[in-house]
Structure 1
Amino acid sequence: MNSLHALPRPVAARAPHSPLDAANAHAGLAGILRNHLLRPRYQPVVDISHSRIYGHESLIRGPVDTALHFPDALFAEARRKGLHPQLELASFRAGAQGFVQHEAAGKLFLNLSGSALIHYWTLWGDDMPLRLLKDCALDPASIIVELTEQDPLSEHMTELGNAFACLREHGMRIALDDYGVGNSNLQLWSEMQPDLVKIDRYFFNGIGQDDRKQNMVRAILKVAQYLGTSIVAEGIETAEDLAVVRELDIRYAQGWFLGRPEETLLTELAPPLRESLRARNPAPVSQRGAGGTAASLRVEAPAALLNKHTNDDVHRLFIEHKSMHAVAVVDGDNRPVGIINRRDFSEHYAQRYTRELFGRDQCSTFMNAEPVLVDLNVSIDQLSHVLISEDQRYLMDGLIITRDGRYDGLATGETLVRSVTEMRIEAARYANPLTSLPGNIPISRHIATLLEDAADFTICYGDLNNFKPFNDVYGYWRGDDMIMLTAEVIKRHCDPLRDFVGHVGGDDFVVLFRSLDWTERVQRIIAEFNEQAMDLYDDQGRHNGGIEAEDRYGVPRFFPFVTLGVGALTVTPSLCERIRPEDIASAAAHVKHKVKHGNLSLVIERYTGGALPQLSD
């Protein structure tokens, strides 16, 4: 969140400043800098996966009750006066000094614009990191410099890259702020290789109800995975938006729902928020099935208590449990706070005098305080993102398995890699070779999972009208294009966190909906497909409204455009006894048959038990 734009929410109206007050305040910008009158506010950045505060962003304020109190006016005036490098430097130092005075832990996000960064790099060269901090005792390794979006930087990439390299040599990390708006662009991301990218609040405002924003964020996350960059979600203001951020597996988040900018630093999350983050939601039904859950990776292993056990105790644990690759460290409530890798610990303990110096110290001495925590109900498929994460220490440290946020066991990185690989091989084995969508066996498994969950769902069975003559006239390659179009349109209108899309084969598709608005989604799928399918005909076919071809009896006749027909069957498992997946599939095929032979686009019925449904009124 850019300090130049981090405005507080509107407050109650008050009398406007008089022109004289405003003039005095504007004239006093140099005095604000000279007299060190800037005051930082600190907003927490939360590590969602570990349910804790990762760091704070310093957001600067001018003197209270002046026209330059809020950052937009303050920095706008600095730009007008040509003092913005000096103001940014003073803000940087004020944020760092305040962080030290509060004896704060974690990371500190400090903002600098590209022009200010290049200015001080040109002025100070390799001394820039130390000169930025001046006499502040803050460890540079705790600082994350946020590059704000105020300046177009495409013509200054070389100088900016040199400045970044200098900061990194001193232990500082780099974040790209407000990605997706302003001058934060893909070129900057690709060439500067920031450690973190903060996605602008625009993409998360109402994301829980906006499929378009969800898809845009997923596209950005694919870039982040490819470039090995961690992501911070900005502007999280509702529980619903936070839930989507969690399901997207974004690790870090910031926003008013998680903590507001305050003079004092928040040391821990409010208990209700912390508990809600630790109580990991079950895996979406679209991601459960043959791959299993993290419970299949779990092995029992004793843990060390943070304020009780010493390094000597950990040493004894490793001696007593020779197959144990690591030791989890937990707090008094049995919640994991870290992990100690066996090999690293043994190497430290083998060094001369280490045991004498550290043996009686708390077991946190050689602990990784950012372990990978995984709820035992999370699907293996969801864990596949760990394999391409920035932090690869899980390969040696392994994972900590939790149950309702509390320690439940360990898992090795090797086991995770093997399980994810087997899951993907299994998925590829039953996937349709053209669309890569799950085939008959995964579809049946998902139906079984939905029946076990005992929640209402809808199965939609769709196929294409007039597809065979289209395929005969234009050839199988154009027919494949029509099948791919069907798959793409269906996927585009389904929620991947709630719905499951399968390809039975040929032109037959199955969708298992848990989205409450499934009717509207199906209607959009039919309308969009029917419109785009016409583009796959040649000019004459589009002009005629279809094509001439032989029917199944060899008789030439006219066939109109290919269209999509869908038979929908709503299922309430609790109202039916001993339902089998094949019963549901057979009943859905029966509804699809009515669509086909009634020349309809959509038929909706309710499953009432047995192999075939009764007709609805």
Structure 2
Amino acid sequence: MFSNLPTIDDVLRREQVETVLQPLVDLRAGRILGYEALSRGPADSPLHNPLVLFDAATEQGRLVELETLCRRRAIEAFSAQDLPGKLFVNVTPDTLLQEDFRPGITRELMRRVGVPAERVVVELTEHFPNPDYDVLRRATNHYRSMGFSIAIDDLGAGYAGLRLWSELRPDYVKIDKHFIRGIEQDLVKREFVRSIQEIATGLGCVSIAEGVETEGEMRAIRSLDIAVGQGYLFGAPASAPSRHVPPELLHGGTNGASGPRFRLSDAVTSLLREAPAVGSETRVEAVGEMFRNAGGLDTIPVVDQVGAPTGVIRRSRFMDVFLSPYGRDLHGRKPVRSLAEPALVVEHDTPVEAVSQQITDGGGGEHDFIIARNGAYLGMGAVMDLLRKITDLQIRNARYANPLTQLPGNVPIYDFIDDLLGRRADFHIAYCDLDHFKPFNDVYGYSQGDEVIKTVAALLVEHMDDRLDFVGHIGGDDFIIILRGTDWEERCRALLDAFAGEVGRLYSDEDRRQGGIRCEDRAGNETFFPLLSLSIGVAHPDPERCDSHHDVAALASEAKHQAKRQPGNSLFRDRRRGGPDPESARSERPAHSA
């Protein structure tokens, strides 16, 4: 009954291999990093399963042939869809030891379809005992010499992960999905992954979490500063995978202060250089005159009839054509669009770091770019100005961001408040503080205490409006939220509910069952402390009565003090709106208590 099932010979002869691609997501930038190519055998056959397929090829001595076929299909699929980012291709280390292995075949395939080597990551799996480290090291050096990056697949799932890591020094390390599944509820897994991330940071390696399927797992790995995620939460393997990360999934793409509410960044419009543009139908000889009359002019943007940029004319290439023998006669009366080159076009409000990433991914770092507003030409941007700005911002970020959460610290908080007051803007300010945090630190240690702080930071960002609100970290377990929407109370309540749902996983089973921990208080007496809770005090400053951030801070501090007098997770709104006037210190009942 199984006589009609395809064999490995059939698969190789008929090339019955399908490529599916699964996205890898840069969790910090909120964008697609690349795609892993996965191979499937014939449908409705045991060989459809890749493990069965490759085991069968290995048994029959056809592994190199199968892997070559799979690799070719992967590169062709990636190129045909013009997918962004990098292509991750799997390489079975055993093939490197086979007599019929032919070095350089991957580079030949890539050259044929036009995929540059720097966009390919070779994944080596560790699912084999007693690897030949000398052979692997030579193979790794060989791939690197051709411009490929190297990744170790399924770290932790096999026999010799740490030694393989130290021997090969990969660019990427993929953490096996076993350690990601349920990580938000498993302290042992969290510590294991935290250790991997610390080693990766020390070695300059990018860590990738495999098998991310739930938002809880995603929040956990982001709190551990894992750089990249892969799994069904971001997209299943598909022949035509998604090109974008849903913005609602990552809530702005970072654990820190992303979005318009406050950026430790600038928009690319800060780099704007005015430059005259020409219409796409302008004659080539007229553009030649522009270059001749302006010796310092290197680039001229080209726009269509409605002012949308369509490309650029660069002096060096233009002059090579225009000044060549018969160049003026052949091209002078043609429209300049015939000589225009493509150029990167970015909207004026794009963050500079996003522009930098686009230039890096596109390999156009030596050229300037076009800045547009709503699709219409606005001006030019210089790559050197961009690099200078990025450097300045990195210094500024390091100076003002909280090192644990990367949220804005006191200086940007105060600047933001003063800006709102100066514009007479309406806003609420919420002071968030943890209850019973010191006893938790004493019992569970500062490392686990840091996890609590990062969990709170992630929840704050998740529940605020990226378009309007601002999240800052004063220090320790104290946070500030500036809320500018009318639904501020609903957001705070949702935040408290989310924290209540998360707090249990931070404790041992025994402490969770008894509802708290026993330890010494500040006076040295053994005391029972309930589970961590979050107190939020909210004030509504009057811009006419508050002269500076000092007045607003005083209001927020008093509101927080009142909130902490309520048991459990609580939200308290103070009615005072300006100045420490005791006669105005009438307060409402708590807005929320749980």
Interval containing the TM-score (normalised by the shorter chain) = 0.5 to 0.7
**Deviation at residue 587 of structure 1 after TM alignment:** 1.6
Residues 263-274 of structure 1: matches in 2 within 5 Å?
none
Answering whether residue 349 of structure 2 is matched by residue 377 of structure 1, we say yes
> Among 240, 243, 261, which residue is 2:238 paired with?
261
Instruction: Output the CA distance in 2 between the equivalents of 1:285 and 1:367.
Output: 33
Matched, 1:128 2:97: no
**What's 1:397 paired with?**
367
- For the 8 Å contact 1:459–1:512, the answer to whether it is kept is yes
Pick which of 139-148 and 382-391 moved more. 382-391
Residue of structure 1 equivalent to 2:67: 88
> Which residue number in structure 1 is paired with residue 134 of structure 2?
158
Aligned counterparts of 1:119 and 1:85: Cα–Cα separation in 2: 10
Q: What does residue range 98-247 of structure 1 map to in structure 2 within 5 Å? A: 109=87, 111-120=89-98, 123-124=100-101, 128-130=103-105, 137-138=112-113, 141=116, 144=120, 146-149=122-125, 151-152=127-128, 155-167=131-143, 169=145, 171=146, 173-174=148-149, 176=151, 182=157, 192=168
1:33, CA displacement in angstroms? 4.3
* 1:494 counterpart SS class: helix
Q: Does the aligned pair in 1 maintain the 2:22–2:237 contact within 8 Å?
A: yes
1:329 and 1:336 in contact (8 A); partners too: yes
- Partner Cα distance (1:316, 1:58) in 2: 51
Given the superposition, is the C-alpha separation of residues 413 and 402 from structure 1 closer, same or farther in structure 2, using an over 3 Å criterion?
same
Deviations 1:542-568 (A, max 9, x none): 9864447xxxxxxxxx89899999763
1:519 is matched with 496
Contact in 1 for aligned 2:209/2:230 (Cα 8 Å):
yes
Matched residue, 2:457: 494
Distance 1:430 1:250 in 2: 22
- The offset of 1:494, in angstroms, is 0.9
Report the CA distance shift for 1:139/1:215 in structure 2 as closer, same or farther (over 3 A): farther
Gapped regions of structure 2 (runs ≥ 5): 465-469, 484-490, 509-517, 579-583, 590-594
Where 1:63 maps in the other structure, the secondary structure is coil
**1:78 match:** 57
- Helix, strand or coil for the counterpart of 1:397? coil
Q: Is the 8 A contact 1:78 1:87 kept in 2?
A: yes
Which residue identity lines up with residue 160 of structure 1 in the other structure? L
1:293 aligns with 2:267: yes
2:474 matches 1:503: yes
- State the shift of 1:230 in Å: 8.0
Q: CA deviation at 1:588?
A: 1.6
1:432-471 aligned within 5 A: 440-447=410-417, 458-460=430-432
Q: Quick one: structure 1 residues 463 and 174, their matched pair in 2 at CA, closer, same or farther if it must change by over 3 Å?
A: closer
Letter in 2 for 1:512: I
Cα 1:168–1:434 change in 2 (3 A) is: closer
**Kept in 1: contact 2:64–2:100 (CA 8 A):** no
Distance 1:613 1:80 in 2: 81
* CA deviation after TM superposition for structure 1 residue 149, in Å: 2.7
**Structure 1 residue 40 and structure 2 residue 18: aligned?**
yes
C-alpha separation in 2, matches of 1:315 and 1:233: 54
Question: Would the alpha carbon gap of residues 559 and 176 (structure 1) be closer, same or farther in structure 2, given more than 3 Å must change?
Answer: closer
Residue 558 (structure 2) pairs with residue 590 (structure 1):
yes
Distance (Å, rounded) in 1 between the aligned partners of 2:363 and 2:372:
20
Deviation of the 1:216 alpha carbon: 11
1:610 to 538, 558, 577: 577
Q: CA deviation at 1:160?
A: 2.6
On the 8 A contact 1:435/1:484 being kept in 2, the answer is no
* Backbone CA RMSD of aligned residues: 6.9
Decide whether aligned partners of structure 1 residues 196 and 413 sit closer, same or farther in structure 2, where only a CA change above 3 A counts.
farther
Query: SS of the counterpart of 1:35?
Result: helix
CA deviations on 1:451-471 (whole Å, 9 max, x unpaired) are 88867663236799999xxxx
Q: Alpha-carbon deviation of 1:610?
A: 1.7
Encode CA deviations 1:552-597: one digit per residue, 9 max, x unaligned. xxxxxx8989999976323578xx775754443222222344468x
Q: Cα offset for 1:116?
A: 4.0
Task: Give 1:538's aligned residue.
Answer: none
Report if aligned partners of 2:407, 2:472 keep a CA contact under 8 Å in 1. Answer: yes
Residues 1:613 and 1:200: Cα distance change in structure 2 (over 3 Å): farther
After superposition, the Cα gap between the structure-2 partners of 1:167 and 1:326, relative to the gap in structure 1 and judged at 3 Å, is: farther
Change (3 A) 1:133 1:93: farther
Structure-2 change in CA distance of 1:34 and 1:419 (3 Å) = closer
2:262 partner letter: R
Percent identity, please.
23
Q: Where does residue 15 of structure 1 map in the other structure?
A: none
Consecutive unaligned residues of structure 1, counting only runs of 5 or more, are 1-19, 468-477, 532-541, 549-557
> Distance between the aligned counterparts of 1:191 and 1:261, measured in 2?
34
Q: How does 1:550-589 map to 2 (within 5 A)?
A: 568-570=536-538, 578=544, 580=546, 581-589=549-557
The answer to whether the aligner puts 1:29 opposite 2:4 as a matched pair is no
Cα distance in 2 between the residues matched to 1:223 and 1:358: 59
Q: Deviation string for 1:487-516 (max 9, x for gaps)?
A: 774344212745634337xx8944327665
**Which of 385, 407, 413 lines up with 1:415 in the alignment?**
385
> 1:213-234 CA distances to partner (integer Å, 9 max, x unpaired)?
9999999999888877789898
Find the aligned partners of 1:312 and 1:206 in 2 and give their Cα distance: 66
Distance in 1 separating the partners of 2:374 and 2:230: 21
Separation in 1, partners of 2:148, 2:370: 27
CA-CA distance at 1:146 after TM superposition: 3.6
8 Å CA contact retained: 2:120, 2:148: yes
8 A Cα contact 2:346 2:355, kept in partner: no
Cα gap change, 1:459/1:300 in structure 2, threshold over 3 Å: closer, same or farther?
farther
Aligned residues between the structures: 542
Q: Taking structure 1 as reference, are residues 34 and 352 closer, same or farther at Cα in structure 2, changes over 3 Å only?
A: same
Per-residue deviation at 1:518?
A: 3.1
Structure 2 CA distance, aligned partners of 1:332 and 1:238? Answer: 48
How far did 1:327 drift? Answer: 5.6
